[in-house]
């Protein structure tokens, strides 16, 4: 038997009991026929109970007892009303819950906690992975700074042949620097630079990157300017001075090419899995670095940076399987939420998004609030996991708050309807707690013309007016059976406390009565 069927049967039983008990209660509330007053004859002894002395303490406890009794009846009545309201709301949710968005949706945080044991990892691992990702990005940004100390003029000795270069310069004769001599030196330097570029192994990606760096840097022009500066400082220069100036410029450009090549592969490897990245490094990149004829310290520095990068990549990519499983779980949760989502809410959201798109096209209406919200629960990277889960929790809380508000509003409507149908008026239930002139709860809210119209239109003999007390009853019933159950427990505790105080004061009450009798 489904939950809706059980709720419907319980509601029918509740209405049946109310239909049977309401006439009995109303009959008991009718004014009783006044009895003839009892006249006490002069010779008859007075009733001892009527003549007994009543102390102020007795009056206090009698008043407190009467208040507790009235509140007890009211709380029990509201508890019963709340149960009936909840049953009707449950039936209504079973029938129209989806169109009106009254069905509860699964919560990501609770579901993740329940199914954590079935995921291949821990949520905390994403924090370690995110830290490794930040290290990868920092290493990529600071790569030039990390490699620069290893590059010196000696790094290009094997590429810029020193002996041939200095021998060609010595043959020119650099004792007296003139214009012709400077032009000859520039020609030798240009030839050596061009020879260096031609000797590079461009079949590898590293050699190609260095060649591009050398060709784009206007290296020959920079070397010519360096030669001019040397010639302007002294009347004679040595071949070693020209070689060192040329080698320093070439070293800087080679360093730029190697750094750009390393950075490009850092970024490329970051998109691959650890096993794939390690295979690319071992089979492609490492042989190129070793075969490029760099000095040992430069070669070791580059290889060390790659090893460190792969170590961080292993930590970063170690959560890929967990992240994929987590995204699948979040996707299934989104599917379940879409299944119970209100089609009226979807239609409203589509209308609102359409209006936003129209407004945002206007130049003066460019505002972030007008941008349609596109939600995607997928976590692309461990660095955004915390922010994504926080945003997901915020969105779910907003949807749950809207659902609760709609359910409470519906409970208020059904509570007022049941209270009006059964004429359960808080003004009648709480009449003994208010003075006679306090009539704000009995105030009628419907005009007499409406009552007459309803009687005439629907052929009803009696149409009750809607009073503030009936509305108060409906509002109170919408608080829920759990709330009124708690109030009943508190009221019972207060009653027990009053009884304990009365029992403790009973000897004093008896003594006071005895003293009052002796005085009489």
* Interaxial angle between packed helices 179-199 and 239-270, expressed in degrees from 0 to 180 and rounded to the nearest 10: 30
Which segments in the chain show pLDDT lower than 70? Answer: 1-58, 152-163, 169-180, 233-237, 360, 362-375, 438, 509, 516, 518-520
pLDDT of residue 114: 84
Query: What residue spans define the domains of the chain?
Result: 3-27+52-102+407-519, 107-119+319-340, 125-318
For 467-508, how does the pLDDT look when each residue is reduced to its tens digit (9 = 90+)? 888 999 999 999 998 999 999 899 899 888 888 887 887 777
CA distances from 99 to 93, 146, 343, 346 (A): 9, 61, 6, 10
Q: Give the model's pLDDT for residue 303.
A: 92
Distance between CA atoms of 459 and 453, rounded to whole angstroms?
10
Question: 467 pairs with which residues across the strands?
Answer: 444
**For residue 173, what are its two tokens?**
């004769």
481: tokens are: 């059976």
Measured between alpha carbons, how far is 336 from 329 in angstroms, rounded to an integer? 11
Neighbour count for residue 81 (Cβ, 10 Å): 25
Which residues on adjacent β-strands are paired with residue 444?
467
Can you tell me the distance from the alpha carbon of 237 to that of 273, in angstroms, rounded to the nearest whole number? 55
Q: Please name the residue that has the structure tokens 């989806």.
A: 98
């Amino acid at each position: 038997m489904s939950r809706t069927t059980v709720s419907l049967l319980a509601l029918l039983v509740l209405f049946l009991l109310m239909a049977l008990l309401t006439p009995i209660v109303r009959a008991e509330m009718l004014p009783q026929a006044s009895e003839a007053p009892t006249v006490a004859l002069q010779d008859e002894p007075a009733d001892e109970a009527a003549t007994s002395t009543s102390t102020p303490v007795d009056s206090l406890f009698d008043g407190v007892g009467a208040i507790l009794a009235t509140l007890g009846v009211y709380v029990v009545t509201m508890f019963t009303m709340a149960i009936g309201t909840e049953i009707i709301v449950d039936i209504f949710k079973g029938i129209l819950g989806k169109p009106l968005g009254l069905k509860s949706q699964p919560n990501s945080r609770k579901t993740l906690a329940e199914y954590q044991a079935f995921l291949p990892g821990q949520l905390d691992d994403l924090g370690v992975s995110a830290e490794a990702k930040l290290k990868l990005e920092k290493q990529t940004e600071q790569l030039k700074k990390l490699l620069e100390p290893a590059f010196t003029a000696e790094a290009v000795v094997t590429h810029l042949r020193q002996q041939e270069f200095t021998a060609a310069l010595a043959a020119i004769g650099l004792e007296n620097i003139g214009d012709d001599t400077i032009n000859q030196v520039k020609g030798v330097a240009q030839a050596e630079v061009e020879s260096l570029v031609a000797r590079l192994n461009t079949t590898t990606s590293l050699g190609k990157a260095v060649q591009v760096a050398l060709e784009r840097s206007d290296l020959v022009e920079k070397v010519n300017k360096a030669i001019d500066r040397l010639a302007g400082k002294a009347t004679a220069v040595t071949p070693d001075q020209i070689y060192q100036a040329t080698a320093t410029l070439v070293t800087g450009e080679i360093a730029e090419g190697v750094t750009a090549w390393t950075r490009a592969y850092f970024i490329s490897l970051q998109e691959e899995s650890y096993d794939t990245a390690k295979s690319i490094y071992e089979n492609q990149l490492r042989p190129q670095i070793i075969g490029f004829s760099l000095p040992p310290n430069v070669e070791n520095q580059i290889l060390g940076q790659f090893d460190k990068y792969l170590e961080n990549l292993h930590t970063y990519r170690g959560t890929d399987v967990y992240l994929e499983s987590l995204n699948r779980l979040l996707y299934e949760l989104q599917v379940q939420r879409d299944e119970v989502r209100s089609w009226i809410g979807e239609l409203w959201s589509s209308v609102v998004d359409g209006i936003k798109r129209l407004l945002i096209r206007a130049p003066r209406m460019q505002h972030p609030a007008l941008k349609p919200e596109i939600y995607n629960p997928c976590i692309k990277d461990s660095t955004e996991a915390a922010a994504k889960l926080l945003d997901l929790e915020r969105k779910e809380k907003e949807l749950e708050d809207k659902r609760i508000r709609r359910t409470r509003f519906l409970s208020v409507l059904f509570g007022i309807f049941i209270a009006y149908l059964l004429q359960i008026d808080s003004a009648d239930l709480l009449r003994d707690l208010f003075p006679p002139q306090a009539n704000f709860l009995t105030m009628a809210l419907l005009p007499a013309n409406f009552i007459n119209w309803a009687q005439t239109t629907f052929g009803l003999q009696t149409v009750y007016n809607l009073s503030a007390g009936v509305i108060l009853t409906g509002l109170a019933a919408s608080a829920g059976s759990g709330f009124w159950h708690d109030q009943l427990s508190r009221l019972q505790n207060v009653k027990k406390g009053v009884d304990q105080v009365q029992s403790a004061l009973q000897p004093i009450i008896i003594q006071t009565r005895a003293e009052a009798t002796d005085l009489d």
